[in-house]
Amino acid sequence: MNNLQNSKTRLSSIDILRGIVMLFMLVDHVRERFFLHVPVLDPMDIYTTSPDLYFTRLSAHFCAPIFVFLTGLSAWLYENPASGAKRSAQSFLLKRGLFLILLEMTLVNFSWFGAYQTLYLQVIWAIGVSMVVLALMVALPRSVIAILGVSIVAGHNLLSPIEFAPNEIGYTVWTILHDRGYLVTDAVVNVKASYPVLPWIGVILCGYAVGPLFSGSVSSQVRKTILLQSGTALLAGLVILRGLNLYGETLDWSQQATILLTTMDFFNFTKYPPSLDFILLTLGVGAFVLAFLETNALRVLEPVRVLGSAPMFFYITHLYALLVLSILAQWLFGANQHYGSNQTAYFGFYHVWQIWLFAMFLSVLLYPLCKWFAGYKRKTPARWVKYF
């Protein structure tokens, strides 16, 4: 009975954390849909971005690293079910990874613009490629996977000076792995790699490597202790590396005119590709949240767990909900904002708090759908449903 309860607790904590970062993602996507008149640069410009918008954007930085890490962790749990014999995750990872790449190229891309002019290879593409790579590596000893994962995460910043011009051999591969840019231009459909995949491969390998920590043989208290120690180590590493501007970030921070601006500069991390400091912050905080959830199963978080148990369904559904609602809002209320050099007219919010309020409204709207789908996914024998 204790092992069963332990299993339920650890799986619930994973789903809750996944649900939390998905809600932050929802806020960021509402911003991208309804706040275009104040575009957020990457990295964020602390001198032109208001603090409330800056920290709204910063909250979204936790989404991809934690989600990719949990994807690797979930792959280990799939391979080592709490009850039953060990099974191979290779086929599942390979098929699901290719499926995610297909989704990125079709449903996801169309949802952003309601058109298909440029193919953006973004986060779902990066997760899909990472899953394919993990599928090719699961046969390796877990220690080797751990070493590879940590080496990629910690060492890829050393590769930043390497660059290729579009006409040079190696440009395409390097653009996919480390430097975002266009792979195809002046075509019927242009292709841009927006999420360099190399660091994400490192993150998913790390997630898979720590899988045994979430096995039924590890007690909840031991797991919590290790998570707290790991989170402390990651954040301490961040304070040292970032505090002294030693390594892990391409942009040094410096003292600004105010404490607030200095704080914003300190946390102004590179996301494309994610720097070591970016990953230390997000996974360090993620470890603390998992530790808290390990012994605090809050009833109020049950709806968040439901969202986290149907991640791909939520992802696709919320993108199309935003597309439809933005069209509907403009039809009902008319355009009240302009965006870009061509002054495209659209309906948008005036204040950052409206972004958060609308995101909360949309999450409540989507919850019943996700709850229904999560139950359907558990019960249906249809294999394709499991990919969502």
Domain-embedded: residue 268: yes
Global confidence as pTM = 0.94
For residue 191, what are its two tokens? 């292709």
178, exposed or middle or buried, with CB in 10 Å at 0-12, 13-18, 19+?
A: buried
Q: Which of 349, 263, 286, 233 is nearest to 19 (CA)?
A: 286
Bridge partners (DSSP) of residue 274 are 271
At 4 the pLDDT is: 42
Residue position matching structure tokens 């092992």:
3
**Residues lower than pLDDT 50 in the chain:** 1-5
Is 336 a member of any domain? yes
Q: Where are the beta strands (DSSP E) in 250-357?
A: 337-339, 344-346
Residue 72 within a domain: yes
Total count of domains within the chain: 1
- Other C-beta atoms closer than 10 Å to the C-beta of 208 total 26
Residue 122 lies in a domain: yes
Which two structure tokens, joined as six digits, stand for 60? 């979204």
pLDDT value for 297: 65
Contact (CB, 8 A) for 337 and 346: yes
Amino acid residing at 179: D
* Cα distance between residue 274 and residue 276, in whole Å: 7
Q: What is the pLDDT of residue 9?
A: 56
Which tokens in the block code for residue 38?
């104040």
Residue 134 covered by a domain:
yes
Q: Containing domain of residue 359, as a range?
A: 12-387
Specify the pLDDT at position 230. 97
Token digits of residue 355: 């972004």
Quote the CA–CA distance of 191 and 188 in Å, as a whole number.
10
363 burial class (0-12, 13-18, 19+ CB within 10 angstroms)? buried
In angstroms, the CA 290 to CA 224 distance is 8
**Model pLDDT, residue 2:** 45
Residue 67 within any structural domain of the chain: yes
What the block records as the tokens of 301 is 């978080």
In a domain, 174, yes or no: yes
Q: How far apart are CA 129 and CA 133, in angstroms?
A: 6
Residue-level pLDDT at 210: 96
